[in-house]
Amino acid sequence: MKERILLIICALGILTTSCSDFLDSKSQDEVIPKTTKDFSELLLGSGYPSPINSHPLALTGYMDDDVDSDLRNSMAGSDLAKGVFPVFTWQSDAERYEGSIMSPELASTPYYLMYERIKGCNAVLDYIDEAIGTQQEINHIKAEALSVRALLYFWLVNLYGEPYTENPQAAGVPLKLSSSVEEVSVPRVTVERVYERILDDLTEAADLFGTESRVTTDFRINRPTVEILLSRVYLYTGKWKEAVESATEAIRIGGKLADLTAIEKNGAFACVRYSSPEVTWMYGGEGMGFYVENGLNMAKELEEGYGANDRRVDLYYAYDELRGHYYLQKTGTSASGDLGDAPKQAIRLSEAYLNRAEAYVLWDNKVTEALKDLNELRRNRIEGYSDVSISDPVLLLEEIRKERRLELAREGHRWLDLRRYGMPSIKHTWLPGEGLTLQTFVLKAKDPMYTLPLPESVLGVNPALTQNASANTPERKAE
């Protein structure tokens, strides 16, 4: 067993990524995980999303309708702005630029980075049953690995597979479920099959976690988070009843909504911190802020969606008066307050309320129940809020989805939501340089670029893969 696991560790390259002391030992024998503690550290270092990389969906923050050109920004036409142009205008060769957006340090595509993390999860799952430790410890580590693997596959299939709501039988992504390195050619399975695997992993993880409630002592995934993820996946696949049940369980055990109306103006607050009662899990690296260097800013539609008394405006964002620019404050910190290599993203209980509200309406026009969730969230976000009463399910669904956009902005949801809403048309304005004519680029309804091309580098090493239609779309020009 020692020799096999050592080979796996070397193949994964985890010796440079783990934060565990046991992987830093000089003796070769000491790098071989034996105990449950060893495997736990192995998973943290090579399976969990890395805190030194950007969010796996970072590039979608340049593609959705929450971002647009900042015409007040002198960075228009700069080299930095030009660097995001292919992604911002949905060019078919955008995948060439994924690396620089995703992780300037590693220059790797989201596809590559997520499969590397899946390898880490698989290595733990393959050998954890033989580890030295209690059965409870083994079950807990297994639950973590299954949960993280499921989330990674969820992100992958939503980048490189067609939306489940459009064509569940379309090509998804390869399912790699073991740490063996013999296989080179692994074909894509259907989108539906990937989702089935995701649900299998999350369901098993929930069972293995048992009765665990919210955990705020570490950065490890836990059962409340798994229940939120289950409600999300059920929502994406049209399983409304199950989405309601999982969201309800998450709310029961996951904490409570943070009352933003009780926080002073300019008060110390970070929604991505365990001190927030609604954060169930912190993970990964930098998110999808609005960066002045790229000449981009918050889209007017998003900005105007927040009302005058909405506390999310001053607590989720900071405004630069000089540049007229918004900066995102949804950034995590470590317990000591240092940003460092601490996880900077979070899954929050507010998503469970939104998932449940939407599922209630779509399940059986359960307007009363959905309204209760919508009003509960808004009461904790808007000063002086008075409950709304909406009897039309269609109008209520619109309000819930509007609230989802406002609440979860720049957290990796919007692009994926647009896909499952039917892939509507989007417009981005682009200023090539100061004094030049403003250009408009259009992503048409159900455009092939709603499903990203597979990276060419991946196609070269896996001949079993087939490319997406978006790779063959012509250059997108201004209208």
Residue 243: per-residue pLDDT: 98
Whether the pLDDT of residue 99 is over 90: the answer is: no
Write the CB contacts of 77 (distance below 8 Å, at least 6 apart in sequence). Answer: 295, 431, 432, 433, 434, 436
- pLDDT one-digit tens code per residue, 274-298: 888 999 999 988 777 776 666 788 8
Residue 343: per-residue pLDDT: 76
Q: Amino acid identity, residue 54?
A: S
Residue 5: per-residue pLDDT: 47
Residue 18: per-residue pLDDT: 37
Write the CB contacts of 80 (distance below 8 Å, at least 6 apart in sequence). Answer: 293, 294, 295
- pLDDT one-digit tens code per residue, 397-419: 999 999 999 999 999 999 999 99
188 CB burial (10 A radius; 0-12, 13-18, 19+): buried
Residue 272: per-residue pLDDT: 72
> How far is CA 430 from its chain centroid?
26
pLDDT over 70 for what percent of the chain?
A: 82
Nearest-angstrom CA–CA distance, 42 and 61? 30
Per DSSP (E only), the strands in 171-316 are: 279-283, 296-298
> How far is CA 412 from its chain centroid?
4
Q: What angle do CA 156, 344, 295 make, to 5 degrees?
A: 80
pLDDT-derived band at 338, boundaries 50, 70, 90: very low
Nearest to 95 by CA among 429, 449, 460: 449
Whether the pLDDT of residue 217 is over 90: the answer is: no
Tell me the β-bridge partners of 345.
283
pLDDT-derived band at 331, boundaries 50, 70, 90: low
Write the CB contacts of 305 (distance below 8 Å, at least 6 apart in sequence). Answer: 402, 405, 406
Residue 296: per-residue pLDDT: 82
Q: What angle do CA 139, 114, 471 make, to 5 degrees?
A: 145
Which carries the bigger pLDDT value, residue 71 or residue 137? 137
Nearest-angstrom CA–CA distance, 81 and 85? 7
Tell me the β-bridge partners of 429.
440
Q: Which two tokens stand for residue 407?
A: 């609440």
Whether the pLDDT of residue 30 is over 60: the answer is: no
Q: Which two tokens stand for residue 467?
A: 């490319």
Number of H helices, E strands in the chain: 16, 8
pLDDT-derived band at 10, boundaries 50, 70, 90: very low
Q: Amino acid identity, residue 350?
A: S
- pLDDT one-digit tens code per residue, 116-160: 999 999 999 999 999 999 999 999 999 999 999 999 999 999 999
Burial of 336-352, coded b for 16+ CB within 10 Å and e otherwise, reads: eeeeeebbbbbbbbbbb
Q: In sequence order, which ranges of 191-239 are alpha helices (DSSP H)?
A: 191-209, 223-236
Domains observed in the chain: 1-53+103-210 (1.25.40.390)
Distances (CA, A) of 61 to 328, 378, 390: 12, 25, 31
Question: Do residues 53 and 113 lie in contact, with contact meaning Cβ atoms separated by under 8 Å?
Answer: yes
Residue 63: per-residue pLDDT: 95
pLDDT-derived band at 13, boundaries 50, 70, 90: very low
131 CB burial (10 A radius; 0-12, 13-18, 19+): buried
Average pLDDT, the chain: 86
Residue 26: per-residue pLDDT: 35
- Max mean pLDDT among 78-92, 339-353, 355-369, 457-471 falls in 355-369
Whether the pLDDT of residue 55 is over 80: the answer is: yes
Whether the pLDDT of residue 175 is over 60: the answer is: yes
